[in-house]
A and B are shown apart, each in its own frame.
Chain A
Amino acid sequence: MGLSWMAWTWPTAAFFAFVFGSIAAMAVWEIRSPGGGPRHGILGLDTTRGDRLFITLLGSAYIFLAWLAFMGTPLWGPLVISLVYAFAVFRWV
């Protein structure tokens, strides 16, 4: 059975490669430095690296949706905002 029913495209494949790549990188990070790096961040939440990745991905999805709803395309703006947001989450949350 082929995968044509999944209607793959290069951009969506790249998106999933990025998501799974991030999870794999987290696994490698965890093996190298076990414990998840827990801390009490500025939002008052106790987070591990996995939580921070989840908050980053979910928040970025909302940043892109908000941009699409209010500004439309192109999407370079939300990409830059998401990268800054990801840095902030991994640094302070």
Chain B
Amino acid sequence: MNKTVNQKAWLFVVPVVLLVAFNAIIPLMTVVNYSVQETFGDNTFFWAGVLWFEQVLNSERFHDSLMRQIIFTATILAIEVPLGVAIALTMPRKGVWVPVCLVLMALPLLIPWNVVGAMWNIFALPEIGLLGRMLNGIGFDYNFTRQPEDAWFTLILMDVWHWTSLVVLLSYAGLVSIPDAYYQAAKIDGAGGWAIFRHIQLPKMKRVLTIAILLRFMDSFMIYTEAVVLTGGGPGNSTTLLSIDLVKIALGQFDLGPAAAMSLIYFLIILLVSWVFYTLMMRNEQQ
């Protein structure tokens, strides 16, 4: 108990508190201030109370973009997590191919987000893009700039291409940390591939998988650059995810009050889900 009585540790926290204050807390406080006011520019504000919150919470536009966001995040998680684990399981654990595989897997993660969007935009164009021409060539009526389903298909494919590697690398890190003794014991018991995966590999990967799901949830829930470069939220509003809608309201319409209220609701959703994941992660660790 003596350790906790020593209060000097507070001093070491000061730099990070200052850093967070300037890059997160002060901007967040400004957003809270904006969310209860109306402005027409020129730094002039009028009190609006909780009107913007009421308006956003009851707006069909917000419900639609939130629903699109949830569908997008759920879909990419449902694809990227099992796919990432499956790829990690097939990767070599020893030998010269290990660094080759790791570098190949890391490549998509190194590409800037706007470049990923631009690459996929060109790749998927129905007239000149390799993917677009190929799909049309084999008989699909594919045009992601005109058909909402095609836009969704391309958006999800792009995200899976860009981010599955992260799940692969994290799962792989979990897999290589399993001592050989576990596999030897399983072999003696006559355990098959599925039993080894279910009772040894999956439990050992639980922690890294929770981190992977948390990171992918937060990132995909806040996706902006890749999606806006690829589809611009269209056709129509079909791929207008929460962040794209937020930017449209804040910068397109210059409705700073409603945009601030929407940002805070958006922030609270991410905060709640992240807290739930964090709590689950800590609980697993304690067990």
Contact = CB atoms under 8 A, between A and B. Distances in A.
Q: Do A and B bind each other?
A: yes
Contact of A5 (B30, B58, B286): B30
A45 to B, nearest CB: 6
Contacts of B37: 7, 9
A73 B54 contact: yes
Interface string A23-67: 000000001001110000000011000000010001001100100
A87 interface: no
Contacts, number: 63
Contact of B268 (A6, A15, A61): A61
B54 A31 contact: no
Interface string B1-12: 100110100000
Nearest to B54: A68
Interface string B260-287: 0000010010011001000100110010
Interface stretch (B45-53, B96-104, B137-145): B45-53
B53 to A, nearest CB: 5
A33 B109 CA distance: 46
B43 interface: yes
Interface majority SS (helix, strand, loop, mixed), chain B = helix
B39 interface: yes
Interface string B50-67: 100110011000000000
A24 to B, nearest CB: 12
A65 B282 CA distance: 28
B205 interface: no
Interface of B: 1, 4-5, 7, 26, 29-30, 32-34, 36-37, 39, 43, 45, 47, 49-50, 53-54, 57-58, 265, 268, 271-272, 275, 279, 282-283, 286
The 10 A-B pairs with the shortest beta carbon distances in the complex, nearest first, are A69-B57, A34-B4, A7-B33, A6-B30, A7-B45, A12-B33, A35-B4, A68-B54, A68-B53, A34-B5
Given A45-B283, A69-B58, 19 more contacts: A4-B43, A5-B30, A6-B29, A7-B30, A7-B37, A7-B43, A9-B36, A9-B37, A11-B36, A12-B33, A12-B36, A16-B32, A34-B5, A46-B286, A62-B268, A65-B268, A68-B57, A72-B54, A73-B54
